[in-house]
Each structure stands twice: as structure tokens, then as C-alpha cells.
Structure 1
């Protein structure tokens, strides 16, 4: 036995020596590796936050362990709850900065709580017996070491153990301590599946921790929170909210396939990540939606539950798990062992479909079978979505086994006559005969390409090689078909390296780098070009399509005029990347589509049926113009109950016009139709009153000639639905003004981000009593996707008095299907305190933000602050035009939030940076620090940054 131990020691020493040499090379991303295979096949994991501060809170390690055991904690309970959720792994977060840095294993390394009972070993053993992997959470963060008023990190004990002084409350000291823990765990728990790492510690990176894990435990996974670290297997995206629909988690993620990614989110609606003593509700609709949409984007759902001290889930979480145990199995084949469709694995288009429907597609890469997940059902009895060239041979309801009627034409699959909807996810299994109708051998060139990402990557068939526009806008892509051929549409897969949901995540603005406005031209010789189509693409994930009607040309040129990202999101601004562009020459066809075809209705006057490749049923009725004498009349539009309905008309138009609908001989209802193409239908909707049973609808135009493809009838959007818009109002942030009468210039821009039509749009400020406004409201008759409305006004306060504290609302009002809607921003103004010569909020639009970001802060001045300052030269906030009356020495008051010691480096007018050391507890508690500065008369510039390390969040500055 002694000889065996001696040999082991010699081997360990030799291995350590080898590692010193082996890990000297930089980390390389292993996007795909055999160790990842089990996770790629899985759907979900269970994230367990559980430790000393789990309610009832313990501040003594032995007492916590006593209550864990006395309460009846068992590892099998956790494993069984994970299996109910369809989870194939558990992540245990006990060594957590906000849970007391507890270690659920017997440790020989002192420094924080460690149990005598081997809870980690028991959990790993129980998971192995039932096919559930266990991953251990590790934190990098010592800043919460005394959050509860008691020191949870024992620097003296660890220093005695190491034979050197180590302060565990510093990042360096904590990095050294936790570094040792990684090796202890790797030595003692071979059956673990890996580490889930909550951000990086500089000590770990400097000492090549991850590279050593790779060599000592080559089958273990490494996952990192919120950032794409090259050596990690998995990118975890933490708690995204605010999307529309609220469950569409992938809209806020930024990791392109085939990189493994997780969506990490809480199941309880409220409360902390760990159990805080409350039996919080679980929103079944929200969380099943997240579960399905993540599967539809090849993202793993890492669901956080909050076990009590005894390990049991609160009653409402346990009830949700029990629900999932019966809800998941009938659709198991559609969410396990599949990939998200509409991306690099092929498949139809996910996202928004007809009549308010929303969902995703999953695909089995081995069988080619696809699954249509209708998460939000339409306000009609059918689902219509882009088929992406797949010829469908059969459709059935996966839960019931019922065979469904379907049709295909014009690039769409329509599943008809749906009467049985699952409350959370109606799943249709779709058999196909494969894709058809695309050209091969297309060659691409572009006006701009980043080195190493050439235009040839656009048509090479590989989704892992992409084209980078090299920040050029506009930029043109030319597609050479080899000779003159007929072309019908483009299918575009943009790089999924940016979110589609604009939000602030940990202080960084996120916005889409996808195509917004485009122009398409065609040529036979590459010199002389004719216009084909101008339009906008939605900021949406998955394959996007541009239908171009009937074109015969050798060359097609797509000019991207701009993208959805703005300059406030520098990570994504102008960062267009495209995986693949394919040229389609025809659409799969079957029987007629599910709408009411115009060619089947009665026609009068000059209305006539014509061939239309891109239309439903390949026909449309043209000649609708000049009034009611040239019309299409439907004599049997039936609804079950009387009421107001949404009537969608798929129209073609070569010039701006309008369409009118008369119902049962009543007064016509009209709506604007923008110019587009005479051979590509586009939807226009109008609200119409229908009686129960049969109705007669006459469709015509009082303007220029239109073509009608089809109509469909569905319910109106809910009253609480407002199409997604971006309303930008400047100046942004509280405006601190001097005493007396003031004049404020206000600018506003409304952008429509949703694929809806809004009408009678008006944009204007609403002034407080006594104020005067120069400038008229900005108006537009109608707006569609990516449409803009801008206005500028001057607001003047009453003479002879101070502004005081007022807010000037800026409101955009419009109609959606004849129903009023509005969105608003505001310009808040405050009179500057008498003892201050200058005050400005950090979030003020006059400032320059670099790669920092704005985030909400309820306790801060103006309820906002700037976050993510420091760590690089561009992560700084600059206050230009800081105006003071005379040159000299001033006192600058910095209002900030911080947790633990951090520093700003403040630069005035380009001078030498001055370090300002600050400290505090809690990122939502504003503090004020006073710093002397020397300023010039008039305008000055003041920069807050820290090129080497993170700085405090910044709320406001004031000069006295």
C-alpha cells in the first residue's frame, strides 16, 4: 500500500511537470467535441441554488449541515425531480457567492464552509444510477463575503494551510483558494460531468486552470456564464426577460450554432435564485414556452428551482414538475435528439406566422422529420408558415395522432382545420420528400469582405463558414447563376451572433445586426441593372425570405442599405454577417391553399384571373382599380358568431394605392396599400364586422390597379397588444437647467419593428400647462415594417419662473386595425440646485458611452445609471461640454454605486488620469464622493474609465 501511494505521488509530480509545459499554448475553442455529445442530445438541465443562506438562513456551517440531514435531504429526490422535467443533468450551485460559499463535500482545504457528509458524492452516485449527469457550480466572486454581517471566508485558516498570507476577500486571493478547490474536486469525483463557472477569475486564467482541467478530466464539460470563452464547451445566457412573446428566450441570446448554449432561467415567477422562504408561483405558460422555443433554437433549458434546506421543492415548483412529467412524454421525439430548424440543420421557418401565431420548428437530423410547435395559437383554425422549399407529404398531430389536411403553394405550408389545440404547445409532425427548387453552383461576390470571411462563403453550403461585411453599409452582394435563369426568391441565413430583442443585459445594449432595409436588382451582363424590389426584413432568427416574383436574369444583386443595430450598441452596429444565401427558382405545390382564393370568387368589370408564381394556388385576380365596378365578390365568408374580425387581404401592387372592402352591402372600409410588386403578394389587414353564418364581401380599389391573391379571416389582436416599436426621444435623461425661463429642443423618432401595418400615425410632445411649443406634430398615413417617423420641436417654459420639476411626455399615437394605440417617452427637467454650476446624469444622451451600457436603477437619480465601466479603454463614459463660468478650481461630486473596492480613473480635458478609489456595499445604493478638479472657462471634457479593471457604476456628476 505504501509503495502504491509512493508511485501515485511520483506520477502526480510528473503530470504536474508535464502540465507546466503542455498548457503554455493559448486556449482554442472546441466548438464540437465527443465529450459534448450527451449534452447535444439533451433538452434540459435542473439548476439547483442551495446553500447556507437558503431559508431559514444559517451562518454556521455545522448547524446548516445538521438541519440538512435532520430535514431528510436525499439525493434521489433531486434526481427524480430533474427527470420529471425531462432534464438529463443537474447543476449544483452551493459554492455560491450569495449562499455563503458552502462546499457540499468534505474538504481538506480550509477557507469556507465544508460539510462532513459527502452530499456531492451522494448526488453524483444517485445521478449515475438513473442516467442524470451532475455538474458543479463554481464562483469567481468574493465580493459578497460579508453580506450577512458575518465573514464567510476564513483567510487565516487558508493562509495557515498554504504557509503564506492570502486574503480571500480579494479577487487574487479568492482565485488562489478556489483554484485549489477545482483540483480537489477533480481528484475525488471522477463521475462528475464538469464545472459550471460563473465568470472568470484572473488567477485561474493566468495559471491555465481550464487547460489543466482539459488534461486531467478530458471528458468533463466546461460552461461559462454570459460570455463566450473559447475553451468552454457551453455558453450560458442568464435570465433574459422582456421579449415578445415573453417566452421567446432565444430572441435575447447571441450564440450561433453549432456552439453549445444554455438558457439559464428561474422557474419561480418571483424571489431570489435560491429559496427565500416563499412558495412562489410558477408561470406554466411562460416556462413551457421557454422550454419549447429553446429546443427550437438548439439551446438547452437550464431551469433554476429553489429547494428548501431539506432539499424539497416548494409546493408550486413540485406541482410544475409533476405537470411536466405527463406533458413532456407525448412530444418527447420532437424535443429530444433534435436540432432547431430554420438554421444550419435545414427546416422550415420559425417565428411569427399567421393571425398572431408564433412557434418554432425542430428537426431530426437523422430522419429529416420536422416538428411544427405552435406555442401561441393563431386567431384562426389554420397555421400558415414558410416551407423553405420542403415538399410536404404528410402532417399529423403528434399528441393525438390525427392526420391533418394541408396544402402548399407560394412558398407556404398551410395546416388546415385545426380544432384541437394544446394549451401550451400544439405539435405537428411533418413528413417531407426533401428540399427542392434551389439552384446549386451559384457564385457570390461582394463590395466589402473582412479578411478570412470572403463572399465565397455565402454559397458554399457550409453554415460554419460565413461572410463578414467588414462594417460596411451599404454593402452589395452579387449572385451569379452562371447563365440567364428564372429566379423566384432568396433564402438568407444570417449569422445568429446577435440578439433580435433590443435590451440591456448587465448594462450592455443588445441589438440585432441583421438586415433591415434592402434593395434587389438584376442584370444579364453584370453592367446594366434593373430594379426588382425594395423592402425590409424583420429582425428575426432563422431563415428569411425575399420573394422577387418572376425574374429571368444571370445576376442578382442584394444591396443591404442598413441593419437593425444602432450606434448605442457598438458590439453589433454594422456587424452584418451571413452564413448562406440560396436562390430559389420555384415553390413546392400541392392542392389549393387554406385561404379564400380570389380566383374562386365572383369577378366583375375588368377583374381577371392571371398566373402568379409567388401567389397562393399560383393565381391572382388583377384589374382591381377605378371603383366598385372592378371587384372580387366573396358570397360565402362564414363565421360562427357575429363580431368584428381581422380580414387579411394578400395583395399585389406596383404603385401606391388603397383597397376597400364592403361587407353585406354596407359602407366600404378603406386602407392604404404601399407600392411593391405586381407579382409578389403582401398582406394588408382591415377590421370588418361580420354576422353569424354567411357574409358577402366585395373587394375593390378606388385608386390604382391592384391584384388580389387570397383573403383569410381571423380574430382581432388582443386589446393589450401594441406592435413593437422603438421610440427614441432626445435629450435622454433628467435635464438639469439653470433658474429662469428655459428653451428645450426635443427630437423624437418612431420606428416600427413589427411586421404589422399601423395607420394615422402622429408624433408630438405634450406640454405642461403654461409652456409653448414650436413645431407641428409629425404624421404619416400608414407605416409598415422598419418605417420611420421623425419630428423636432422647441418647448419654452413660462416666463418669469423656474422650471421646477416637470416632465414633457412625447407620444406616438396610431391605429391598429381601427383600434387606438400609443407609445410614449419623456423629457424630464429639473432646476439645478443653487449651489451647483453644472449637473448632468451619466445616462444623458449628450455623453459618449463607448462599450458601456445604460441600466435601470430605481434608487438612482433619474432611475438609470451607466454600468460596465472599465476593463478596457473603450469601456468609458465621457462628459463633453461640461460648462462652467470661469477658469479655476472646482469641487466635483460623483454619484455612483459599487459593491466592494473599485476605482475610476478621471481625465479632465485630456490631462493625466487621476485615480479615484471608492468603496460601498450593494449595486443599488447610491453614494457620493467629492473630487477636486481644475476646469477651463466654458466647455470642458471629463472622462471616467479604468483601462485595467472594472469601475463603479456611474449615476451623476455635479460641479460646485
Structure 2
């Protein structure tokens, strides 16, 4: 028997045996499995894109292999570079659609480039010698088969091998080919650690590929890119950007612990995933921040570097690796062998802290030691964060060994007097005596629950079970303490199954499913309820807290009025899920006092010190309602240099009043304080001038406010703008008829930061000659989740076409007295004379189903709609396609596509008409046209493909 036929027979025999034992039902997620343990203990991996199209590109496999070997490629170099990064595994992406489908191993299966030298085997052996695992990347995608103008897939050779005609350039044919490669690799490489699979192929799924991998190689891992496929061990979240801070990669992920997940990102700032011949910089600040914040969320950092043909890393990437080899070891215990804190492993609260500080917490599950990672340092010499009930006994700087002064009260830990800051991550090792202050035995019920996810899951102590609100909003959760008891705060862990802010990722709209506006009431008998507190929670990961003062009640009822998600992201809209809610009855207190407590300052008039459980030091000063005669005066507020500083006042406010501050006897500055609770402080900030050295700060009010404490920090950088969401409609270029035209514009500003902005104004800015109907929308101040909306009509000059203009819509405001602004725009264009209708695919007038918008530099308006096709709801519908008379028209469809695909176009609910198109590259628009019968007035046109992927859609026109 020939070698080829023998291999075919062996594969067939393996498949035949396996198919008798593989379960035919849908695969179930194995969230925990012993094979995953090595990856759970990992911090990072090194992702290597390297193949025939690594610059300089090779179109001949033998020539590429010759240059790889001749250039001195060695497997050990890659393993050593991975270890510098603290990476415990390498993913090799050579059988990649954009790199020539090269296989770095000798193969008996023809169809694409395969080397004679066993590069993969050498890498596996080198990794095994130094404790680094190797995972092999496999693609499902044949569409780039001739990107370079040369066919890289050999259908004839594979067809001869199989004894049947197989077209490798189709998804079905490529699925069959790559399916065989999986088995060849499993047969030949015992020490491989698994497959990193770039999306799914229908042939693989239909033929139970993954189930068979589980049977043949039960210790190997399976990783899928960008989606949570049940049978996979790991979810990889690819190249997320646009977060604030930019390094906070977990803010863009959607996989709750304990599901294994990766953050897959490029280390070079620019360029391709592979070496393209350029020398691209590596942003140390960005990438160390990603490394740390991922560790603080139990996410593995899969860092992509771009080796050259000879395997060497470009100089700037090699330099970054050398830096990491020195930077990580002093803090290794806080990064490796730890889990993210603030989630199911316990720990204090990560995220935004005082004075612009931002970071994460890691926790050692075995010792309970926690590590505070300050990635963005505060504009002050202290860090203040929620302690989540942990009684802190000591804090030291992990790099220097210095013991730090601390204070602890009101649910916060303050680390004081910090003078040494690491440029990228200041790490504090925190020792505690455990967690305290929470009620046990609390029972939960809810007005709505998804079947199988009951409210009892909220208080069962198990973060792997959760309550699902079944899409209801508002929805109420009742907490029964068993009897009348003291309650001071709620600690809420929401399901980390959505990103923390609205974004588009690979054309899929995403949004936060976390609680926004809430109300909290209490009762002793379950019938008569009193108001406790209302407000908004930030869209943030980790434990969130609602302080409620000193309540005595048996029942607490949390009513969630809405979430942060919007209807533009239907997968997340109204999808509220919560892992755990705990009721705290008291806060742990430290041994050291805080600084600048109100009760320690001088008081005059009716100002007096009172007990306040939720206040720092458990006291506040009240009686400030008589103006300057009732005041708190700090006589020694010292700063090193003269300038303007941020003064934060932690105030209690049973009613809405202004607070006034006089510095060194100067005329007072005032800022509004919204109504909240008289026994729960909230921060209010104001910019104040201070002299070098000692200053006197006098605080007073004309209303009933209480002062807990003050703190001094620097002002935000001029480049910082607090996070907002500005939604402007219509979205997309507006194509209007010749002559004078009017455009209705609506805008909605949502303030997403846990801060305050003042003097807020929202309005369009018109081009010369245009007129506006409607006044600017304004608000004196806005805080977290505040909204400002406006509606206007913009009209072009009389007797003229609208031409080509952009109408900016600008929200301007002040942050601590400094001007800031965010903007959107409505582009308006006069449609061509030979067109009776033009509309962008991304226009907000359209209905998008399960599709999504994405940027496209060469497309009309810079955007297009992608993810069309594959199901009935993955379609784009254009309503109100208006034409002047009933007759036949030409429909011009502008699209982008890579490979052969089809639209099915349905007009007014009629029979779908197929538009078949083909192309190379998915960035350059092309135009197809078909005849359509339209009626006078409004028509509806739908674009979809219920069974297969369709092209991306840029714009339509009727002529």
C-alpha cells in the first residue's frame, strides 16, 4: 500500500472508531477541567505570526524555508524571548490566511506550503526543555487564497490525494482540508499543548472535530477567537482598543470568571500582526498596563510580536522583552500565581480610585495576600480605595520594601504618604486579618427571574451561579435579613458578561449590561416601605457598593430602573445578571487616623462633630447652614508649590445646596451639591488657588450640609476629558435633494464618569449661511448617568443646494473650571443629479438586526455594515426608500467583499433577488446594480442572506 493511501486509511480508521463514542448532542462548556490547570497558573503567552508573507514576502515555499534556515532561525530564541515576558506558552500562527497558509512541519497532506524541516517539532522540544508550552494556530478562512495574485491553495493536489474533487478556495473544501491537518498534527506531536482556532468552520462542526480532539488528545486545550464556544477551554478577545484608560483591556472583554479568557493584542503600536518590514515602536506604558490589568482580572495576556524571516524580533520588540525581563521579577509574586481581586476570589475593589488613580487588585488564593497595583498614579500622595470588608493590618511597597502609613474607616483603605512611584505600576502588598462586617443567611427574591437562574443565586455565596432578570426593567430584588437588623451598605457583583462601555468590535455592537439608575427602599414588615437612597452605579468591573447610612430594617429592596446598555446592542440591551449581593452591617476600622478630617479642624458657630458610620473616622461636622459664621477652618493645608489645586470635599447633603470655600481669606468660591443622604458622604470638587507652604481653607454653606473630610490633589491634565456618550442623529452622511433643504438633528449627552461637570451646553454649530431652529440644551451641572438632550432643525441657505458640509454637534462643559468639549457631526451632501435616492448603509434610519457598523476608510462616509448573512436576523433593512413615481428603477449597491458572496435583495416583501459578487480584499468599495420595481412614495428594501455570509454593505442609490 502506498504511503498516501496508508495515511488515508489510518485517518479513516481513527474517525470511524471515534464517531462511535463521540456524543452527538451539542458540546457543553467545561469551565473547569484538570487539563486547564497550567493555563490558569499562567500570566501570559507569546503570539507569533510568522509565515511565507513575513517581509520580504515569499511566494515559493522552498525559497521561504531556505531563507528561514539560512537566516539562522532557532526555536530556542523564541522560547527565551517568551520567558523574558513572563510567558509560559507560545502560540505559533503560521497556517494563517494572510501569511500564505504555510505549515511549518513535513506533511503528507498536500494543499499548501509545508516545510521539509520540522520547525514545529523543534519549537515543541525547545519549549518542553524550558517549561514553555506550544499551541498551534489553525485558521478556518480560505478567502485570502490569492491575495498576492498567486494561488496559495493547491486544490488539484488535495483532490488527487482524496480521490475526489475538492475546491480549497471554498469554505466547505477548505474545512475538509484543514480537518485532515488537525489529525495529522495530533498524530505527530505528542507534546503540543493544543490548538488556537481562529473562528469555526461549518465542516469541522458538522463532523464533530472538537469532540474528536477531546477523545484523541484529552490533555490538549482548545481556544477560539472572539466568541464563547462551549466546547472550547478558552475565549480569546482580540485587539481591543478605545477604552479609558487605554491600557484597561478587561473593560472591553465579556467573559466572566472562572471561564478562561485571553486578551490577544499586538505589542507594536502600528503595522500588521506580522513583520511587514517596518520598525514599529512598542508603547511600554500601554503594554505594561495591559499586562497588569489583565492579571488583575484573571485574563491571560497573549502578546503578539512580529518575528522576521530568520525568527529574530525587530529591535524595538526585543528591547521591550529585555525591559520586561528586569521589570517583572521584583513584583513577580503580585503578577504570577494570583487571581483578579474584586470578583469571585474575593479582594478589594479595582478600578478608578481617588484623584484620577486607576488600577487593579490581585490576590493569592492560597495565602489571601492582596496586591494593590496603581497603574495610573493619583494627583495626590495617597491612594484611597474600597476595602470590601477586609481589615487591613499592614501595607508595604513591594518594590522598595517600605512600610506605608494607612488609615481605614467608612469602607475605605487609605495608603498615605507615598513618595516613590513606579513609572508603570506601583505595587503595594496588603496584609489583612480577613473579611468582616457582612450578614449571613440573607435570602433573596425578585420580581422577575429567568428560568434556571433564580434570585436565590444572589445570596448563595457561589459566584458561579447567578440571577438573570429575564430582560425585565425596572426589576426589584428583595433581601430578607431574617429579622430587624442593622444595614450599612450593599456589595454587588454583577455578571462580567459585557464590556463596560458602548463600543463596536469586529462590526458587532457591544454595551454594558450593568446597573445604571437604582432606588433602594427598606421595610420592617414587607408591606410598608421607606425610601433609603437613589442614584446611579458606574459601569465598571468588580464589586460595586451602595452605602445607605445606618438603617435598622428586616427587608431591603433594590429596584433597578435601567442599565447602561442601549438598543443599538441588542445582545446586551436589558440583559441584567448579578452573581452575588451581600449586605454589610459595619465597616472595618484601622489603627491609624486619617488626615484633614473635619472633626479635627477648627469649628465656629453652630458647627459640631457628630457620629457618622459611613464617614471617614466615623464622624462628620454638621450645622454648616448659617453661612460664614458656621464654618470648618483648616489652618495648615500645605503644598510644596504655589498653583491651582483640586480640593475634594466629602459632604453629606440631606438637601441640595451650594458649598463655599474661602482660601487664605479670599472671596469664597462656590459649587452646587446635589441632594443625597445626610449620613452618607459623596465627593464634590472645586479648583482652588494655594500658596506654597501653609494655607487656610474655610468651608461653609447656606444650607444643611455635613463635612466629612477634605483632600488636596492636582488638577486633571489638560488632555483629560471625562467619559461621556454623545449620540447624534441622524447618523451617517445625509444625502438630500437639490435646492434648499432642512435636516432635523437630535443629540443626547450622557455623563459616564463618577465625577461632576458644570456649565454644560449642547448645540449644533452651523456652516455659514445656514439657520437653526431651537435653542442650546443646557444644565448647570451633571453627575454620573446625568442626561442632556436637544432637538434642532438646520436649514440650508435659501435658493441654494446644501452642497457638501459637516454640521458639528458640540457638548461643551467645565471640569474644575477648565473648558472641555466632545463633538459629533452630521455630514450633509447634495445627492447626484442622476439619483433619485441615496442612503448610507450605516444611516440611523435603517434597521440593522444582528449586523454591526464598522470603520472603512475608503467607504462612503468612512463606515459600512458588516456581519450580514448567516441567519434571517443578520440583515439590513432600508425603510422609506422614496421615489417620485411607480416604475422600474436601477438599484446601485455599493459593497466590499473578499471572495465570492451573495446578497439577497427583497423589495417591499417580494421575492428575494440574488446579487452575486466577488473580490479580493475587503476594504475597497465596488458597485453592483440590478433593476427593481418601486412604487411612488415610500418603499422598503432588505439586504440579507439567510444561509451564508454576505458582502459588507456601504451605500445604496436609486437612479
Distance in structure 2 (CA, Å) of the matches to 1:451 and 1:911: 39
Which segment drifts farther, 614-623 or 904-913? 904-913
1:842 aligns with 2:841: yes
Conserved 8 A contact 1:90-1:135: yes
For 1:129, the equivalent position in structure 2 comes to: 129
Q: What SS is found at the alignment partner of 1:596? A: coil
Distance in structure 1 (CA, Å) of the matches to 2:278 and 2:928: 38
For 1:298, the equivalent position in structure 2 comes to: 298
1:94 aligns with 2:129: no
For 1:363, the equivalent position in structure 2 comes to: 363
| Aligned length, in residue pairs | 956
Q: What are the ranges of 5 or more consecutive residues in structure 1 without an aligned counterpart?
A: none
For 1:526, the equivalent position in structure 2 comes to: 526
Q: CA deviation at 1:501?
A: 3.0
Distance in structure 1 (CA, Å) of the matches to 2:193 and 2:501: 33
1:162 aligns with 2:165: no
Distance in structure 2 (CA, Å) of the matches to 1:399 and 1:184: 48
Counting only pairs closer than 5 Å after superposition, residues 766-915 of structure 1 correspond to structure 2 as 766-915=765-914
For 1:687, the equivalent position in structure 2 comes to: 687
Q: CA deviation at 1:626?
A: 2.9
For 2:709, the equivalent position in structure 1 comes to: 710
Which segment drifts farther, 914-923 or 126-135? 914-923
For 1:386, the equivalent position in structure 2 comes to: 386
Q: What SS is found at the alignment partner of 2:173? A: helix
1:582 aligns with 2:577: no
Q: CA deviation at 1:888?
A: 1.6
For 2:285, the equivalent position in structure 1 comes to: 285
Which deviations, in whole Å up to 9, do the C-alpha atoms of 1:67-88 show, x marking residues without a partner?
A: 1001000100000000000000
Q: CA deviation at 1:302?
A: 0.3
Conserved 8 A contact 2:176-2:203: yes
Q: What SS is found at the alignment partner of 1:686? A: strand
Conserved 8 A contact 2:357-2:383: yes
Distance in structure 2 (CA, Å) of the matches to 1:797 and 1:631: 56
For 1:512, the equivalent position in structure 2 comes to: 512
Conserved 8 A contact 1:382-1:594: no
Which segment drifts farther, 675-684 or 829-838? 829-838
Q: What SS is found at the alignment partner of 1:628? A: helix
Alignment RMSD (CA, Å): 1.5
Cα distance, 1:73–1:705 mapped onto 2, change above 3 Å: same
Counting only pairs closer than 5 Å after superposition, residues 908-923 of structure 1 correspond to structure 2 as 908-923=907-922
Q: What SS is found at the alignment partner of 1:695? A: coil
Distance in structure 2 (CA, Å) of the matches to 1:6 and 1:715: 74
Which segment drifts farther, 909-918 or 745-754? 909-918
For 1:214, the equivalent position in structure 2 comes to: 214
Distance in structure 2 (CA, Å) of the matches to 1:151 and 1:655: 74
Which deviations, in whole Å up to 9, do the C-alpha atoms of 1:635-676 show, x marking residues without a partner?
A: 000000000000000000011111111000001111110000
Q: What SS is found at the alignment partner of 1:236? A: strand
Cα distance, 1:678–1:239 mapped onto 2, change above 3 Å: same
Conserved 8 A contact 2:406-2:592: no
Which deviations, in whole Å up to 9, do the C-alpha atoms of 1:280-314 show, x marking residues without a partner?
A: 11100000000000000000000000001110001
Q: CA deviation at 1:14?
A: 6.8
Distance in structure 2 (CA, Å) of the matches to 1:377 and 1:6: 64
Distance in structure 1 (CA, Å) of the matches to 2:21 and 2:73: 44
Q: What SS is found at the alignment partner of 2:413? A: strand
Conserved 8 A contact 1:592-1:616: no
For 1:333, the equivalent position in structure 2 comes to: 333
Q: CA deviation at 1:278?
A: 1.5
For 1:77, the equivalent position in structure 2 comes to: 77
Distance in structure 1 (CA, Å) of the matches to 2:322 and 2:253: 29
Distance in structure 2 (CA, Å) of the matches to 1:548 and 1:501: 27
Q: What are the ranges of 5 or more consecutive residues in structure 2 without an aligned counterpart?
A: none
For 2:248, the equivalent position in structure 1 comes to: 248
Which deviations, in whole Å up to 9, do the C-alpha atoms of 1:451-490 show, x marking residues without a partner?
A: 1111111001111110000000100000011111110000
Q: CA deviation at 1:8?
A: 14
Distance in structure 2 (CA, Å) of the matches to 1:946 and 1:623: 69
For 2:228, the equivalent position in structure 1 comes to: 228
Conserved 8 A contact 1:340-1:361: yes
Distance in structure 1 (CA, Å) of the matches to 2:22 and 2:929: 50
1:948 aligns with 2:947: yes
Counting only pairs closer than 5 Å after superposition, residues 317-332 of structure 1 correspond to structure 2 as 317-332=317-332
Distance in structure 1 (CA, Å) of the matches to 2:572 and 2:502: 11
Q: CA deviation at 1:857?
A: 1.1
Q: What SS is found at the alignment partner of 2:726? A: strand
Counting only pairs closer than 5 Å after superposition, residues 436-455 of structure 1 correspond to structure 2 as 436-455=436-455
Q: What SS is found at the alignment partner of 2:637? A: strand
Which segment drifts farther, 814-823 or 17-26? 17-26
1:481 aligns with 2:487: no
For 1:675, the equivalent position in structure 2 comes to: 675
For 2:403, the equivalent position in structure 1 comes to: 403
Conserved 8 A contact 2:18-2:212: no
Distance in structure 1 (CA, Å) of the matches to 2:569 and 2:765: 29
Conserved 8 A contact 2:11-2:183: no
Which deviations, in whole Å up to 9, do the C-alpha atoms of 1:159-208 show, x marking residues without a partner?
A: 11111111111111110110000000000000000000000011110100
Conserved 8 A contact 1:593-1:616: no
Q: What SS is found at the alignment partner of 1:76? A: helix
Segments ≥4 residues shifted beyond 6 Å: 5-12
Q: What SS is found at the alignment partner of 2:696? A: strand
Q: What SS is found at the alignment partner of 2:344? A: coil
Distance in structure 1 (CA, Å) of the matches to 2:171 and 2:8: 33
Counting only pairs closer than 5 Å after superposition, residues 416-431 of structure 1 correspond to structure 2 as 416-431=416-431
TM-score, structure 2 normalization: 0.98
Conserved 8 A contact 2:594-2:617: no
Conserved 8 A contact 1:899-1:919: yes
Distance in structure 1 (CA, Å) of the matches to 2:925 and 2:503: 23
Which deviations, in whole Å up to 9, do the C-alpha atoms of 1:427-456 show, x marking residues without a partner?
A: 111111111000011111111111111111
Which deviations, in whole Å up to 9, do the C-alpha atoms of 1:310-336 show, x marking residues without a partner?
A: 100011100000000011111111111
Q: CA deviation at 1:11?
A: 11
Q: CA deviation at 1:699?
A: 0.4
Distance in structure 1 (CA, Å) of the matches to 2:814 and 2:824: 18
Q: CA deviation at 1:7?
A: 15
Distance in structure 1 (CA, Å) of the matches to 2:82 and 2:64: 24
For 1:181, the equivalent position in structure 2 comes to: 181
Conserved 8 A contact 1:761-1:782: yes
Conserved 8 A contact 1:479-1:556: yes
TM-score, structure 1 normalization: 0.98
Distance in structure 2 (CA, Å) of the matches to 1:945 and 1:877: 7
Which segment drifts farther, 69-78 or 16-25? 16-25
Distance in structure 1 (CA, Å) of the matches to 2:47 and 2:794: 52
For 1:554, the equivalent position in structure 2 comes to: 554
Distance in structure 1 (CA, Å) of the matches to 2:329 and 2:16: 47
Distance in structure 1 (CA, Å) of the matches to 2:11 and 2:293: 48
Q: CA deviation at 1:591?
A: 3.6
Q: CA deviation at 1:883?
A: 0.9
Conserved 8 A contact 2:18-2:215: no
1:756 aligns with 2:749: no
Cα distance, 1:592–1:758 mapped onto 2, change above 3 Å: farther
Conserved 8 A contact 1:651-1:707: yes
For 1:463, the equivalent position in structure 2 comes to: 463
For 2:37, the equivalent position in structure 1 comes to: 37
Distance in structure 2 (CA, Å) of the matches to 1:170 and 1:49: 23
Q: CA deviation at 1:753?
A: 0.5
Distance in structure 2 (CA, Å) of the matches to 1:563 and 1:498: 12
Distance in structure 1 (CA, Å) of the matches to 2:231 and 2:267: 29
For 1:119, the equivalent position in structure 2 comes to: 119
Which deviations, in whole Å up to 9, do the C-alpha atoms of 1:722-742 show, x marking residues without a partner?
A: 000011111111111111111
Distance in structure 2 (CA, Å) of the matches to 1:18 and 1:775: 71
Q: CA deviation at 1:403?
A: 1.3
Cα distance, 1:251–1:701 mapped onto 2, change above 3 Å: same
Distance in structure 1 (CA, Å) of the matches to 2:25 and 2:864: 40
Conserved 8 A contact 1:23-1:212: no
